[in-house]
Amino acid sequence: MSETKPKPPKAPRRPPNVWAADVWNAWTTFWDRREDVAPLAVCRILLALVLLYDWWQVYHFDLVTVLYSPAPDGYAVAYQGWAAKLFGKGPELGHIVYMGAVISTICLGVGFMTRVACLAVIMCASQLAQFAPEGDRGIDMMIRIFIGVLMFSRSHGRYSIDAFIWRKLGRPIDPIGPAWPRYLLMFQLVWIYFSGGINKSGAEWGPHGGFLALANTLADPHFARWDNGWVELLTPLTRIATAVTIIFEDTAPIYLFLYFWAARPDKPGRVRRFANRYRVRWIWMIIGAQFHLGIAIFMRLGIFPFGMLVIYPALLLPMEVQWLRKKLGAKDTDEMLRRSRPVPIGTPGLEPEPPPPPAEKAAEASDAIEATKAVEASEQPGDDAKPADQAD
């Protein structure tokens, strides 16, 4: 007769209030995670560079007056908003707000009074958007949202004048800061792709329209960077690219799973193992990056591709960030990992103990209950119990 394995004892059923408390604890622990703020600092600097390039283009093409002054000098709408209340409605108002935007963007990039600079960039950029509403494109909104998130982050904890000043004053800013702003940037990026995908209503994006959306876009005289002759030759490729684009956008939320699977490779699951083994997350990021690089090469969409790409550092795991920093010569990478919360899997010398399997957990729980009972029993003052100080 074959021996049947003894069934592990069932874990005691948890009452709903305990379950709710666990969920709440997991939620607050998730948002209270801490990590090196380097990716946020890099996003801040790159965002500022992209925005400065855009402001420079406005100046270079002599468009400050044209875009931000009402008639007769330009074609902005009549002034309104906080700037008009503060500085009056003179023809120079557009220039004042534009200068404010440039200066605050520089402050944002170098990390000087960073949070104030973030607020100032948002205020000036949204005011300019009110002056020239047609010129306020999706990427402008995206950048305002990204900067709004950075305003509440500790992106000035690294690579900033603020960090330098506070270090000189003897109160250095801790480069380990909340991770949630990075998560928000990540969620925002994923949402932009997903929302962009599900809002694509044209038949050309699907099989009914022959997946011709990219061929049409690349040949559109108003957006094409090059003469359209080559598009005709490569139409089959553009069909594939269209299909990849729409699949990529519609399935963008998968990235969040890929990210958290990669962050906890120790957890079980075949899909998790597959995704981690074949680096599906990196494939996703490379597709996204090439999507933007393709736009930058073949179309004239200004800062759009770069404004999106600069948020990609927020997609990296803390482990990858420290690996990159180490490659660039940073000495404190292990310390940064050890001080992160939770400590990333694979941190040298500080491997967190993997959680016990459920059966062991249950056994531990029953052991703990028995142990508690035993302790309680021994603490019960019996008839022949002696006070501790009188015990033999």
Q: How far is the CB of 33 from other proteins (least distance, A)?
A: 16
**Residue 254 has which token pair?**
């998968």
Q: What is the DSSP string of 58-124?
A: HHHTT-HHHHHSBTTTS-BPPP-SHHHHHH-S-TTHHHHHHHHHHHHHHHHHHTSSHHHHHHHHHHH
Pairing of strands 34-36, 176-178: antiparallel
Neighbours of 268 (CB within 10 A): 7
Q: How far is the CB of 113 from other proteins (least distance, A)?
A: 20
Q: How far is the CB of 311 from other proteins (least distance, A)?
A: 14
Q: How far is the CB of 184 from other proteins (least distance, A)?
A: 8
What are the backbone angles phi and psi of residue 34, rounded to the nearest 5°? Answer: -125, 145
Q: How far is the CB of 130 from other proteins (least distance, A)?
A: 7
- Chain-centroid distance of CA 60 in Å reads 32
Q: How far is the CB of 95 from other proteins (least distance, A)?
A: 16
Would you give the DSSP letter of residue 210?
Answer: T
- CB-nearer residue toward other proteins: 128 or 275: 128
Neighbours of 108 (CB within 10 A): 31
- CB-nearer residue toward other proteins: 36 or 140: 140
**Residue 235 has which token pair?**
């139409």
- CB-nearer residue toward other proteins: 232 or 367: 232
- CB-nearer residue toward other proteins: 238 or 347: 238
- CB-nearer residue toward other proteins: 143 or 163: 143
SS3 11: coil
- CB-nearer residue toward other proteins: 200 or 326: 200
- CB-nearer residue toward other proteins: 216 or 366: 216
Neighbours of 314 (CB within 10 A): 22
Q: How far is the CB of 190 from other proteins (least distance, A)?
A: 11
Q: How far is the CB of 103 from other proteins (least distance, A)?
A: 19
Would you give the DSSP letter of residue 341?
Answer: B
Cα angle for residues 306, 307, 310 (degrees, 5° grid):
75
- CB-nearer residue toward other proteins: 214 or 317: 214
- CB-nearer residue toward other proteins: 148 or 346: 148
CA distances in angstroms from 233 to 36, 209, 380, listed in the order given: 48, 18, 89
Neighbours of 63 (CB within 10 A): 15
HSE on the CB side for 315, CA within 13 Å? 23
- CB-nearer residue toward other proteins: 76 or 110: 76
Q: How far is the CB of 347 from other proteins (least distance, A)?
A: 29
CA distance 170 to 289: 41
End-to-end CA, the chain = 53
CA distance 381 to 362: 30
Q: How far is the CB of 289 from other proteins (least distance, A)?
A: 16
Residue type, 5: K
